[in-house]
Every structure is written in C-alpha cells, then in structure tokens.
Amino acid sequence: MARMDFKTKLLPLLKQVFSHLVFWLSVLFFFTAVFGVNNNMDRDTLYFSMFLMPVTIGTTYTSIYKLIPEYLLLKRYYRFTVYSMYTLIISTFGILFSIFIAYAYFTNIEDNTLNSIGKSSLFIISCIFLIVVVVSGFKLLQFNLLQSKKNAKLEAQILEAKLKLKEQELNHLKMQIHPHFLFNTLNTMYGFALQKAEETPDMILKLSNLLDYLLYQVDKPFVSLTDEIHHIEDYISLENIRFNDTLAVNFDKDITSDTIEIAPMLLIPFVENSFKHGTMKNGRLEITIKLKGNPKSVYFKIENSCRKEEHATNGIGLENIKKRLDITYPNAHKLNIASLEDSFSVELFLNLTSELKND
C-alpha cells in the first residue's frame, strides 16, 4: 500500500519538483551568460543573477498559477488585466530593488564591471519578463491541450450515452411492435386450428419463418431487403389463407441488387397495418404494394381500401415506426401518410447514401 502511494502521489511530485529545479537552473545560467562581461560567465555575474531569481520565479508562478487559471481561463478578463498590471508594477519595483541590492552587495566590483554586469535596468527587466512570457505561453498552451483532451473525452462520453439511449429506445420500440404483430398472426392461426383446416400446417410453417425472423434477425441493426421481402410475402400468404376470396393483394417489386440492407421489421408493420385497419370495397379488401430498391435508395408504398372514419392514422404501430425512422434514418428518410375517402396510403423513401435535404 505504501509503495502504491509512492508511485501514485509522491513520485509524480518529485518529478515535478526536479523538472522545475532543472528549468530554473537553466534560467540562472542563461542570465549569467547574458549579463556577463562580453557575454562571459564568471562568478560575480552568477551571484548577480542569483539576486534576480526570486523575483523572476515569483512573477512567473504568479502568472501561471494565479492569473492564467483563475482569471484568464475563466474569462474574467477585467480582473486579469487589473491584476496583471499590479503584478507588472510590483515585479518591476522588485527587479529594480534586486538590482540595487546586488550592486550594493558587490562592492568589490569596479564601476565598468558593474556597468557591464547590469548593462541597463531596462534590459534586465526585459530579460526577466521574457522568461515570464515564455513560461506563461507554454503553460497556457498546456492548459488548452488539457482542456481539449477533457472536451474530447466529454464529447465521447456524451456520444456514447446518446448511442446507448437510442439503442435502448429502439429496443423498446421493437418490443412494442413484436407483441402487436405476433398477436394478429396467432389470432388468425387460432381460428384455422379451431376449424381444423388443411391450411393449418402451411400456416404454422410460415409463422415459424416469421418467428425466426422476429427472434433472431430483428436484433441486428440491418438485414437484407430480400429477407424483409420474403417475410412480407409469408405474412401476405397467411392473410390470404384467412381472407380467402375476399382479399386482393398486388405486390410489385423492383430490386436491382441483393446487397441492399434496411432496418429489420421496418416494412412489415405497414403491411400489417393495412390488413388490420383496411376495410372491404365491393366485398374485397384491396391492397397495393410497390417496392423499389437500389444501393442508393429504397422506395416503398402501400395503399389499402378503407373508410376514412374507420382508419387510425396515429395508432401505436405507425407512431412506433415514425420514431424508429427518426432514430435509424435521421434526416435520411421521408414518410408520407395520406387518408382519403376510400383509401389509406403510406409512402416511404429511404436515402441509403447521404442525408436528405429539406425541400
């Protein structure tokens, strides 16, 4: 445990102290070289530079640990400007005082040596503030890089949370659709089982295919459009058996590729809705389905006969499909629902390559 604390707490602190010590020793030697006679380093110049180090270190740390993080980064620009001016004035007096004390201390240095050591107060002040500005600029860059990393991490966390939320919402919507779809199909088969109809085994087989699709394929993000078509055809076959001669379905397909993929169970609910809410016209329920697909887009339209007052345009099935489309195809789909006097139609367009532009 003690070794762990040393590695996690004490060791980074020691590294930081060591790096700061090395840096300030480098600054000290820099001052000694710049302030030396003819840029020559000697002991007296080294001592003179040491007198300037406290005010240099104090001004630098005030800038990088007080002014920048507490005022500049927090966009408290007025206070940053005021306190920076205070720091500048106090530091300037501190530098001049350090130079005066250094000159007074080095009484054995000749006047021309002093002039060479000091060169000028303005030059010394400029060198010290150059160090402050360079270190502050580096620290500000470090703060910005750290903040960028934090923002990127936060954005990644937000994106991950949004994706999980969308996935949960999508699963919830699927679970709402499944029982509704399954109930209608089982209800149909139940009626035939009571009648002991010969079509019952075929219905069971088709229902088995639908359940396989429902249980094992629907959890995939995308499935083959061909698979969706096959299960639509199975569903229509089941309904054909139930309606017998009172059903007229025209399913027109034009698919140019077997590689087209869409979200699972996206089209079947529209078909189911037509059978559930459609009403007979001249003794027959008429349903027309058109489906066109290519690698770039999918067009689907279904229309059924009905009486307008009996057709629900905002049922749970259609509302769930709208939400699924918003989640799975954001800005990449168009859904038009039209309820006329004797017909009801749904028209869906999916853009599989890019976002749709608002008209």
DSSP readout, 160-207? Answer: HHHHHHHHHHHHHHHHHHHHHHHHHHHHHHHHHHHHT-TTHHHHHHHH
Contact in structure between 182 and 214 (CB atoms under 8 Å): yes
pLDDT over 70 for what percent of the chain? Answer: 79
Per-residue model confidence (pLDDT) at position 187: 76
Q: Is the pLDDT of residue 284 over 50?
A: yes
Per-residue model confidence (pLDDT) at position 124: 87
Burial of 301 (0-12, 13-18, 19+ CB in 10 A): middle
DSSP three-state, residue 89: helix
pLDDT, one tens digit per residue, over 305-340 is: 887 655 555 555 677 788 878 888 888 999 999 888
- Which of 36-45, 80-89, 129-138, 151-160 is the least confident region? 36-45
Per-residue model confidence (pLDDT) at position 310: 56
Q: Is the pLDDT of residue 347 over 90?
A: yes
DSSP three-state, residue 220: coil
d(CA 289, CA 72): 64
Q: Is the pLDDT of residue 223 over 90?
A: no
At residue 263, φ and ψ (nearest 5 deg) are -65, 140
Q: Is the dihedral angle over the CA atoms 256, 261, 264, 269 positive or is it negative?
A: negative
Averaged pLDDT, 119-145: 88
Q: How far apart are the first and last CA of the chain?
A: 65
With both helix axes pointing from N to C terminus, report the angle between 200-212 and 225-243 in degrees, rounded to the nearest 10: 150
At residue 75, φ and ψ (nearest 5 deg) are 60, 30
Q: Is the dihedral angle over the CA atoms 190, 191, 195, 197 positive or is it negative?
A: negative
Q: Is the pLDDT of residue 106 over 70?
A: no
Q: Is the pLDDT of residue 110 over 80?
A: no
Which band of pLDDT confidence, cut at 50, 70 and 90, is reported for residue 358?
Answer: very low
- Other residues' Cβ atoms within 10 Å of the Cβ of residue 183: 10
Residue 9 carries which side chain, given as an amino acid letter?
K
Q: Between these two residues, 200 and 144, which has the higher pLDDT value?
A: 144
pLDDT, one tens digit per residue, over 20-74 is: 999 999 999 888 888 875 655 677 788 888 989 999 999 999 999 999 999 998 8
Strands (E), the chain: 223-224, 247-255, 261-262, 285-294, 297-305, 333-339, 343-351
Q: Between these two residues, 106 and 123, which has the higher pLDDT value?
A: 123
Which stretches within 196-287 are classed as H helix? 200-212, 225-243, 268-277
Q: Is the pLDDT of residue 356 over 50?
A: no
pLDDT, one tens digit per residue, over 163-177 is: 776 666 656 655 555
pTM: 0.53
Residue recorded with tokens 């459609």: 278
In the predicted model, what is the mean pLDDT of the chain?
81
pLDDT, one tens digit per residue, over 241-273 is: 777 778 889 999 999 998 999 988 788 888 888
DSSP three-state, residue 109: coil
Burial of 107 (0-12, 13-18, 19+ CB in 10 A): exposed
